[in-house]
A and B are shown apart, each in its own frame.
Chain A
């Protein structure tokens, strides 16, 4: 792969400056993507794959912008002081940055897990994006929180042995003001905002072409993703056999998901080039 130019940039939002890295797609690049990263430990586990994806897509002339939400990574602030409301604002600011500062004409979102869900929420408000790639989006926030509780229960069970008390862990998750999600202090406000997320109940209206990738041990698409795609104006769901790298600490190959993503983008570019106007005239400005 040819070496891609990368530069650290800052994105102004809410009196802060988000830490971001722009992977340059080249001088003649008219397409770009804002990477919307997942939540807490999933972000850390997915970091390498997202960097590799940005480099791969930049080599294919897609400018890619990765950034840290406020309170996360190298962006300013404490994790517990921010939540989904601010992170949607951060995504919005990143998309504006791509259009106004970088000058990319066609801007899409590439989101993973909760980041994919937040990208859809941002796109609802402002029609920020021309297209969206959603990797394993969180469809139901309550279920997502339940999975996090499961993770905590299992971790406690494996480490505490006979001392393990499931009721104690459950109570802490449900009632404490701040809950420890694998080292990340998650406030009640953030948990409530996540719990209120239900993409089946609040059907996303994002009109741009959307690919939902269901990444699992099977090619068969899970019902929730199939139904979500059916409910959206212009979405399709595809199953890809891919180890869940956002849950893994070790090295996991991401070839399958990157290949599926690049393929869909190439097809989308071809479709838009062959559209009625013969160009990208129908993209959101």
Chain B
């Protein structure tokens, strides 16, 4: 598994765990819209953001908050990869 794939797998696990979703992590497609597919509202997204910061040890900047950044696993992975340099 490549680093990028591993990162996506970790993100999917985090999404399922933090949002208490009743799906398996690998059932989440890389490019499906998370907001629409899993009814992610602002409360869920807050949990997800806090989880991303804790697990991946990054600090999200205020300017980073865009719907697009968190809309898919691929976008989150790209964002985290950039943050971690």
Contacts and interface: CB of A to CB of B under 8 A. Distances in A.
Given A150-B46, A150-B49, A150-B50, A157 B67 contact: yes
Given A147-B46, A164-B65, 14 more contacts: A147-B50, A149-B62, A150-B49, A151-B42, A154-B46, A154-B49, A157-B67, A158-B42, A158-B67, A159-B42, A167-B63, A170-B62, A218-B17, A247-B47
Given A147-B50, A166-B63, A166-B65, A154 B20 contact: no
Nearest to A247: B43
A171 B49 CA distance: 20
Interface string A227-265: 000000000000000011001110000000000000000
A154 B63 CA distance: 11
18 contacts: A150-B46, A150-B60, A153-B62, A154-B42, A154-B46, A154-B65, A155-B42, A157-B66, A157-B67, A158-B42, A159-B42, A164-B65, A164-B66, A166-B63, A167-B62, A217-B17, A248-B43, A249-B43
| Dominant secondary structure of chain B at its interface with chain A | helix
A14 interface: no
Interface in B30-66: 41-43, 45-47, 49-50, 60, 62-63, 65-66
Contact of A158 (B41, B50, B63): B41
Question: Quick one: which of A150, A154, A161 has the most chain B CB within 10 A?
Answer: A154
A244 B46 CA distance: 12
Interface residues of B, number: 17
A247 B42 CA distance: 11
A247 B46 contact: yes
B65 A153 contact: yes
Interface string B6-47: 000000000001101000000000000000000001110111
A243 B16 CA distance: 12
Nearest to B43: A247
A257 B68 CA distance: 35
Contacts of B49: 150, 154
A149 B65 CA distance: 12
Nearest to B66: A157
Contact of B45 (A158, A164, A249): A158
Contacts of B66: 157, 164
Given A154-B49, A166-B65, A217 B42 contact: no
Nearest to B41: A158
A11 to B, nearest CB: 32
Contacts of B41: 158
Nearest to A243: B20
Contacts of A217: 17-18, 20
Contacts of A151: 42, 46
A217 B51 CA distance: 10
